[in-house]
Amino acid sequence: MRDILLQGTDVFIKWGSDNDRVKKLLHEASLYANELVELQGTVVPRLVGTFTDRKVNPKFVCLVLEHLSGIMPDDVFEANRQMMVLIGKLHNAGVRHKQMLPLDEYEHFIPSEKGMRIVDFTLAEKHECRGCPPLMPNDPLKFAIGYDCCYELYTLETELARLDLSQPPELTPS
């Protein structure tokens, strides 16, 4: 049993009993147990355990996760920086989230006393990341449709940096 339970830490429970929900939760549990295992407790919450009861018709699945509690950094730029670091680590581990955009309320980034975490991998996919160079304001790369970089990293960075895509870049001859 993990120390998270021995310490009496609160937990967060996700469960489902219909076929689609069960399939998604088992997929999420598999990611936590494999691609995300090294990121538990730093980038994603710790998975305490996965419980299934196949006697229930059709079946029942329950994920018990570390409960996260905290507040977002007051500085929006610092919050955005932390999110970008986290998503970079997620992609480096071979996973793309697929539910981060539109980034209306940062609902998949949860603050905690030990640092921000990314949550909800029900639709996430294994991913061979091509990476994405840091985007700067007026960076011509951001307009290069088909530029060979990771789409999720690219779009998130663009969104988080609040780059103004409505204006063409100021290109300077090199």
Contact positions vs Zn ion (CB under 5 A): 91, 129, 150, 153
CA-nearest of 41, 27, 19 to 120 is 27
Shortest Å distance, C-beta 86 to Zn ion: 13
Shortest Å distance, C-beta 95 to Zn ion: 9
Choice between 23 and 126, CB closer to Zn ion: 126
Choice between 91 and 117, CB closer to Zn ion: 91
Choice between 79 and 149, CB closer to Zn ion: 149
Q: Inter-axis angle of helices 151-160 and 76-92, to 10 degrees? A: 170
Structure-block tokens of residue 55 = 């006697």
Q: Would you give the distance in Å from CA 11 to the centre of its chain?
A: 19
Shortest Å distance, C-beta 150 to Zn ion: 3
Shortest Å distance, C-beta 88 to Zn ion: 9
Choice between 131 and 140, CB closer to Zn ion: 131
The phi and psi torsions of 16 (rounded to 5 degrees) equal -165, 160
Shortest Å distance, C-beta 57 to Zn ion: 39
Strand ranges (E), 60-173: 60-66, 95-96, 109-110, 117-118, 125-126
Distance between CA 28 and CA 63 in Å, rounded? 9
Choice between 129 and 141, CB closer to Zn ion: 129
Distance between CA 84 and CA 161 in Å, rounded? 9
* 15 Ramachandran zone, left/alpha/beta (phi>0; psi -120 to 50): beta
